[in-house]
Amino acid sequence: MNTLLFCRVMGCLTLSMLAALTVYADELDALDLQSAAPAEAPPGAGKLYLEAALGQASPSGQTGTRQVGRLSLDYAITTSLNNGLRATFSNRLDYFDPEPSGTDTIVNSLRELYLSWQNPAATRVLEAGRINLRYGPAYGYNPTDFFRDGSVRALTTFDPLALRENRLGTFMLRGQTLWDGGSLSLALAPKLADQSSNSGWSVDAGATNNRHRALAVLGTQWSPSVNSQTLLYWQDGNSTALGVNVTALVSDATTAHLEITHSSEPTLLTRTQGATTPTVARNRLAGGLTYTTARKLSLTAEYHYNGFAPDSAEWTALNLTDRGNFLVGRLPLQELASRQAYMLYLSQKDLLRQPLELTAMLRLNAQDHSRMSWLELRYRGSRFDLAAQLLHYSGDSGSEYGLVPDSRVVQILGHWFY
Amino acid sequence: MSDKFALRRVIVVGILFAGLSWLAPAAESLSAQKILTSSEAIRIPARSFSATLTLTEFRDGKQVDANTLTSYAMAQTDGRFSSLVRFVQPARDAGKLILKNGNDMWFYDPASKASVRLSPQQRLMGQASNGDVATVNLSKDYRASLAGEEEVVDGERRKRRAYKLSLEAAVADVTYPRIDMWVDADTSQPLKARFYAESARLLKTAYYRRFQPQLGANRPTETVIIDGLYPQSVTLMRFSDYVARDIPPSWMQRDFLPRFQPD
């Protein structure tokens, strides 16, 4: 018996030593590898890419499918002029087939065009022009992103992170001052047009500058683990809104984020009907946690609350047509359609130890329990990406996601970088 | 000599030995910390600088990815560094930023204008952690003790006599709770390190090599990073174009990320 035990122990030890030797042999093999030469970006080069998408959409409640396609050209550049002055230009051109309802086949989005000046110590910044000014650390819903409404001209993705890549900036004059542990900025955005334009080639100042607006932001670094932004937002016709967003490091693998705003304004239902009164004082909130494993898997869970969205009783009181109009009307506002919602966002980089990235998202309406599921598998090459996407809506016929015209969209995307 | 005197002498000698035995580990620890400090003074410059960083990723001996970054490291008064790392290539990632002030880490994407807080465990490239691509002075965040003296194979496959240091995290939420580090016994050059998880699992091994004169010292300009679980996964991290320079403190703020432009 003792001999048997001894043999087992020795066997295990031998195997362990062999395994260790294999590891160390592999380690020494690694020392033969050579680094690639450093690549240099051409000075003053912008970022240009072409994106092509082809897919099939399945209309809700019908058999059969229809083809959907898109071709997009995206370019952004920042050029140094002199004396701390820089110019930024960012533009996107989308061609849709078939033509989406409410817009042209070709939609041009002039996202940014502005001049920026910094002093040599980089403690003062002055900017003027169309600037994409974005706040809020949450993934799926950003109450403190006060310049979000009207900013998306062409909806090309459902990934909330990618959605922000294709939005219009707001024409504004902006100043910022920074000091050790904090910053203060002020943005003034004048009214330039009455309403948004449906013309595909329009600069569309009316989408982002259809009223006078101002935003002051105080950034504070409370500790290495906690950072906040306090925002005061004013727009013509409404009282001042107050917002706070906070991010914190919870552990070596977990971060937390929270956004809260309080404002007095018309309800979302009133806004989608084009009215500006009556106003009510309510809150918006988005909060969540992101956990990352050592193997590059990140999982974000978020809770969303919009005090201005219809509650269950108000939603039930709407007929199907009103619900449809409400859902279409709130899209450009980038507002949460239900009083409460949940979101799960998962990202796995280097899937199967390959240059593959898996991204999945689930949005759940907490009131009617309808769901939006989105899945993307992306291959990352050095100069091109290839992605397969699946978008699926489910829920009762009168629910938020059950009312979406296409219940499922499958598409392949190619992304070429120059 | 009376019994009284003998007893007193025994007590004094006993106290002396007790004191020495208490001081000895502290002295050894102090010496290990000095070895680590000397080694870190070789690994990273003592002042603010910028450098080009090339990350080449291999799997099963084949190159699968390469990134070129520019690292801006700002020396703080306590010897720690704040780092801003900018992606240069590939074209897809050009302009993205990683900011690291101790545990305060951010990722900024100019396309989405989003500043996302990162946890120390989050990695954006290959086997290199965000802490690796940023400049981190280990002697400030870890307590070193001498674990022995060994002969080790260095990154150039030469045998070197080295001190083995055991590093325990002295501050909260560092990327690696424990590190074993081998430092050349004669030159204090960092040779090799093993990085462990809380569970004592080996996360990765690093070899420091290609020592070259850079900013006043013979420094390692390449680190070979080998995955602890899958040793066929290797990332080479190569530093070049070191330039000593003053870096505005505001570059190291989250609120400045959307305004950062390289000069």
Chain A, window 74-93: residues with a beta carbon less than 8 angstroms from a chain B beta carbon? 76, 78, 80, 86
Is A115:A131 a contact under the CB 8 Å cutoff?
no
Mean pLDDT of B208-216: 95
* pLDDT at residue A116 in the model: 97
Of A31, A176, A293, the CB nearest to B207: A31
Chain A, window 277-336: residues with a beta carbon less than 8 angstroms from a chain B beta carbon? 290, 292-294, 296, 298
ipTM above 0.90, yes or no: no
Q: How far apart are CA A81 and CA B146, in angstroms?
A: 55
Quickly list DSSP for chain B: --HHHHHHHHHHHHHHHHHHHHHHHHHHHHHHHHHHHHHHHHHS-SS-EEEEEEEEEEETTEEEEEEEEEEEEEE-TTS-EEEEEEEEESGGGTT-EEEEETTEEEEEETTTTEEEEE-TT--SBTTB-HHHHS---HHHHEEEEEEEEEEEE-TTS-EEEEEEEEEEE-STT-S-SEEEEEEETTT--EEEEEEE-TTS-EEEEEEEEEEEEETTEEEEEEEEEEESS-TTEEEEEEEEEEEE----GGGGSGGGGGG----
Tell which wins on pLDDT, A102 or A63: A63
Indicate the residue type of A227.
N
Which SS3 state, helix, strand or coil, does residue A124 take? strand
In chain A, DSSP finds a helix count (H) and a strand count (E) of 6, 18
Q: Report pLDDT digits (tens) over B99-123.
A: 998 888 999 999 888 899 998 888 7
Asked if A35 lies within 8 A of B222 by C-beta distance, the reply is yes
* B88 touches A at CB < 8 Å: yes
| Chain length of chain B | 263
Of A164, A178, A249, the CB nearest to B253: A178
* pLDDT at residue A230 in the model: 98
pLDDT class for A36, splitting at 50, 70, 90? Answer: confident
Give the single-character DSSP code of A240.
P
* pLDDT at residue A63 in the model: 82
* pLDDT at residue A83 in the model: 83
Asked if B173 lies within 8 A of A252 by C-beta distance, the reply is yes
Supply the pTM of this predicted model: 0.87
CA-nearest residue to A30 within chain B is B234
For residues A311-329, b (16+ Cβ closer than 10 Å) or e, as one string?
eeeebeeeeeeebeebeeb
Q: Report pLDDT digits (tens) over A177-234.
A: 999 999 999 999 999 999 999 889 999 999 999 999 999 999 999 998 999 999 999 9
CA A61 to chain centre: 30
* B115 touches A at CB < 8 Å: yes
* B78 touches A at CB < 8 Å: no
CA-nearest residue to B201 within chain A is A294
pLDDT of B223 above 60: yes
* pLDDT at residue B24 in the model: 47
Quickly list DSSP for A256-273: EEEEEEEEEE--HHHHHT
Asked if A294 lies within 8 A of B209 by C-beta distance, the reply is no
* A122 touches B at CB < 8 Å: yes
pLDDT of A317 above 70: yes
Residue A349 with chain B: CB contacts under 8 Å: 124
Q: Report pLDDT digits (tens) over A331-357.
A: 888 899 999 999 999 999 988 878 899
Q: How far apart are CA A238 and CA A58, in angstroms?
A: 41
pLDDT class for A159, splitting at 50, 70, 90? Answer: confident
Of B91, B118, B236, the CB nearest to A33: B236
Residue B124 with chain A: CB contacts under 8 Å: 349
Give the single-character DSSP code of A372.
E
Asked if A355 lies within 8 A of B236 by C-beta distance, the reply is no
Mean pLDDT of A284-295: 94
Mean pLDDT of A399-416: 93
Q: How far apart are CA A187 and CA A175, in angstroms?
A: 7
Which SS3 state, helix, strand or coil, does residue B134 take? coil
CA-nearest residue to B100 within chain A is A224
Asked if A38 lies within 8 A of B240 by C-beta distance, the reply is yes
pLDDT of B9 above 90: no
Mean pLDDT of A247-254: 92
- Taking every pair of C-alpha atoms in chain A, what is the biggest distance, in angstroms? 92
CA A371 to chain centre: 19
Q: How far apart are CA A86 and CA A119, in angstroms?
A: 12
Residue A382 with chain B: CB contacts under 8 Å: 65-66, 90
Residue B224 with chain A: CB contacts under 8 Å: 30-31, 33
pLDDT class for A15, splitting at 50, 70, 90? Answer: very low
Chain B, window 153-212: residues with a beta carbon less than 8 angstroms from a chain A beta carbon? 153, 155-157, 173-175, 197, 203, 205, 207, 209
* B112 touches A at CB < 8 Å: yes
pLDDT of B48 above 80: yes
* B119 touches A at CB < 8 Å: yes
Q: Report pLDDT digits (tens) over B73-88.
A: 999 988 889 999 999 9
Q: Report pLDDT digits (tens) over A268-281.
A: 999 999 888 899 99
* pLDDT at residue A20 in the model: 46
Which SS3 state, helix, strand or coil, does residue A20 take? helix
Indicate the residue type of A198.
N
CA A50 to chain centre: 20
Q: How far apart are CA A361 and CA B67, in angstroms?
A: 28
Share of chain A above pLDDT 70, in %: 92
Is A400:A374 a contact under the CB 8 Å cutoff?
no
Mean pLDDT of A361-382: 94
Mean pLDDT of all residues in chain B?
87
Asked if B103 lies within 8 A of A385 by C-beta distance, the reply is no
Residue B58 with chain A: CB contacts under 8 Å: 30, 33
State the count of interchain CB pairs (< 8 A) between A and B: 187
Q: Report pLDDT digits (tens) over A86-96.
A: 999 999 999 99
